[in-house]
Amino acid sequence: MYFVYILYSVTKGKYYIGSCEDVNKRVVKHNTNHSGFTGKTGDWTIKWREEHAGKAEALKREKQIKAWKSRKMIENLIGKV
């Protein structure tokens, strides 16, 4: 199984969209100190996840969500609004 997930950082006030096989392990990696977008805050939390049968399907959905480029649509998806 693969997952598409959305994380949120209170410090940055931003969402991050990704996909992987193990969301919990991935969140731990996002919260470690590294040079990437998620690497400096250490406060990323899972706000939403969606299960997919395969990697290709998950990547397609991840790209679809990223293409929205809309905070409002993301918040509607995760049920915040």
- Could you read off the pLDDT of 10-36 as tens digits, one per residue? 999 999 999 999 999 999 999 998 888
What are the extents of the domains in the chain? 2-78
Whether residue 81 is predicted with pLDDT greater than 70 in this model: the reply is no
- Could you read off the pLDDT of 54-73 as tens digits, one per residue? 999 999 999 999 999 999 99
pLDDT at 34: 87
β-sheet with 2-9: strand ranges across: 14-20, 2-9, 44-52
How large is the average pLDDT for residues 4-8?
A: 98
pTM (predicted TM-score): 0.93
Q: Which fold does the domain 2-78 belong to in CATH? A: GIY-YIG endonuclease (3.40.1440)
